[in-house]
Amino acid sequence: MRIVHTLAELRAALAGAPAPAFVPTMGHLHKGHLALVRLARENGGPVAASIFVNRLQFGPNEDFDRYPRDLGRDCELLEGAGCDLVFAPDERELYAEPQTYTVQPPAELAGILEGAFRPGFFTGVCTVVMKLLQCLQPRVVVFGKKDYQQLMVVRGMVRQFALPVEVLAGETLRAEDGLALSSRNGYLSASERAEAPQLAATLREVHRQLAAGARDFVDVEGKAMERLRQRGWAPDYVAVRRRVDLQLPQAGLLDEEPLVVLAAAKLGRTRLIDNLER
């Protein structure tokens, strides 16, 4: 596996080679990331990954400075998963000058849910993903479904800009107790880690209520958030949305439209997100 840190090295590594399947990451890898690498490998051809903690998608009071970084460990894991090339630039390399050109996703998708609680987040995501796609010129890019709204925002960007890349979605990997794997799980204390699976349990309960015929989404969502509050969480949202565009379900099509239940909540200092398709 080759590790490169500069755009010049990256271009030299890619010259004359088939376009790769690409897995963008911020490092601090876990089994969920490695599953995405294996999915990329199944697509055939070389596999490339990036490791870059993107300042543009962190708010002023978020955890950019304390986001864990361990390039050596991450590269060992990537090599074991079948990655061929790692692009690990520093900020001065990827943002050699202030990134005043940005990609602004539409507010109706990027201004709701995560976007409502993290203003500018999806602009930062789209801008760095666009830049990385331009740098690596992959034929396939792989994202995980755990970051469901991010996946949809990136898919929309790729579609509207007619980028010559296919977006693949990897299923959410979970621990045995149901907690969705996330780099931020490492921030949890022992007691918080024991409580953390309740976020997934809450999603399952909302899913059960929908399957049983519940259609008052405001009531279902409100009770789910209150359940989390009583357990010591600080929920941002629990939301039932259409999978196709993350908008509210239409009353006359409730039994026909594929739905997804999404949630974000803080447990102690750690903010966790999860979702469950219906």
Instruction: Give the active site residues.
Output: 33
Instruction: Summarize the chain as % helix, strand, coil (round to 5).
Output: 40, 20, 40
**CA–CA separation, 178 and 192 (whole Å):** 14
Residue closest to 88 by CA, chosen among 64, 69, 103, 101: 69
Nearest alpha carbon to residue 122 among 146, 150, 99, 147:
150
Backbone angles phi, psi at 146, to 5 degrees: -60, -40
Of 194, 177, 203, 181, nearest to 264 by C-alpha is 203
Residue with structure tokens 């005043």? 100
Q: CA 166, CA 38: separation in Å to the nearest integer?
A: 16
Contact 42, 128 (CB under 8 A): no
**Tokens, residue 73:** 């460990």
* Residue 165, SS3 per DSSP: coil
Measured CA to CA, the distance from residue 136 to residue 83 in angstroms comes to 14
Nearest to 217 by CA among 261, 255, 175: 261
CA-to-CA distance for 44 and 18, rounded, in angstroms?
10
